[in-house]
Amino acid sequence: MIIAPTLWSIAGVLTRHLEAARSFEVTFWRSFFSALFVAGALVLQQGGVRSALKTVRAVGPLGVVSGLMWCAMFTSFMIALTKTTVANTLIVMSVSPLLTAFLAWLLLKTDIPRRTWLAIVAAFGGILWMFVRSINDVGGQHLIGMLIASAVPVAAAVNLIAIKRAGHGVDLIPAVFLGSVFAAILMLPLAWPLQASLHDLAILATLGFFQLGFPCMLMVRAARHLSAPEVSLLALLEVLLGPLWAWLGAGEVPAQETLIGGAVVMTALISNELAAMRGASLRRGTPA
């Protein structure tokens, strides 16, 4: 689960190097290449196209719901960025752990440890501090963008609940494929006419394969062994690492607030996981 948001976080630095592709076209190609990657992985995993298609059809209603939620996340983020700033969008997205914890408690009857609630609140505060300087006044286009961005944490929370509800009996990796296909179909009319150069397509293929398809598959696997709030909390690493890669790969020097807020987020994540490991060790009767 740590690998997944680490790979998600490279989107910003890679898109800085695009020549012609913008906005909806980026989302289209990224979703298209993600669908290709996940489809290829399913064919290899299942030993053939027919078996892979059978696996996709077997996802059932929860799989379709998960696919629609992936689609909402893939598209809403980019659309929100056309209306407001990255900072405003990320602030809205950072409420995802709180929504996920609430839905897990309400629908799955999950007992959320106090340490996780504290980590969620601390992480949210750290992210708010990271972007406090660049947050714009909420109004006009920015308000529209933030309302669109609110679909991302809602979809992420519902998606995690669907994955946890499916349990080990249904493989929901095909839902990532469905979400990528839905997003590509939805974005194509908005992205037309396509303008990406071969240079752009190479970057967008990298995004589709290693920034979207592969890490989303990892998240589905990780969700089998972690609670929904823990998955959502660890996903905040994307918000923390994104500015770091932009600094190292695109020369965007982070502000002091970013460094301080990032330290708070990292401390919250590490503290929560260490407490979980200690609790597991104590339950097994071994030293922490």
Q: How sure is the predictor about 224, in pLDDT bands with cuts at 50, 70 and 90? A: confident
Going by C-alpha positions, the residue among 196, 143, 158 that lies closest to residue 27 is 196
DSSP 242: H
**How far from 9 is each of 2, 38, 129, 216, 281, CA to CA, in Å?**
11, 19, 19, 12, 31
- 99 alpha-carbon distance from chain centroid: 14
pLDDT of residue 134: 58
* Residue bearing the bigger pLDDT, 247 or 109: 109
Q: How sure is the predictor about 18, in pLDDT bands with cuts at 50, 70 and 90? A: confident
Q: In this prediction, what percent of the chain has a pLDDT beyond 90? A: 28
Rounded distance, CA 267 to CA 123, Å? 8
Number of separate helices (H) and strands (E) present in the chain: 16, 0
Is the Cβ–Cβ distance between 241 and 6 less than 8 Å? yes
Sequence-separated contacts (24+) of 131-138 with Cβ below 8 Å: 131/87, 131/88, 131/90, 131/91, 131/257, 131/258, 131/261, 132/257, 132/261, 133/255, 133/257, 134/85, 134/87, 134/255, 135/85, 135/87, 135/88, 135/91, 136/84, 136/85, 136/87, 136/88, 138/88
Q: Which of 25-39, 136-150, 207-221, 225-239 has the lowest mean pLDDT?
A: 136-150
Rounded distance, CA 172 to CA 260, Å? 37
* Residue bearing the bigger pLDDT, 245 or 181: 181
Segment 55-86, tens digit of pLDDT: 898 888 889 999 999 999 999 887 887 777 66
State mean pLDDT over 158-186: 88
3-state secondary structure of 68: helix
Element (H, E) at 94: none
pTM attached to this predicted model: 0.80
State mean pLDDT over 158-164: 89
pLDDT of residue 178: 95
**How far from 175 is each of 166, 201, 268, 277, 285, CA to CA, in Å?**
12, 24, 31, 30, 39
pLDDT of residue 133: 60
Q: How sure is the predictor about 219, in pLDDT bands with cuts at 50, 70 and 90? A: very high
Is the Cβ–Cβ distance between 114 and 42 less than 8 Å? no
Residues in CB range of 44: below 8 A, 6 or more apart: none
pLDDT of residue 216: 94
Quote the mean pLDDT of the chain. 82
pLDDT of residue 217: 94
Residue 136 has pLDDT above 60, yes or no: no
Q: What's the token pair of residue 141?
A: 């286009």
Q: What's the token pair of residue 35?
A: 């669908």
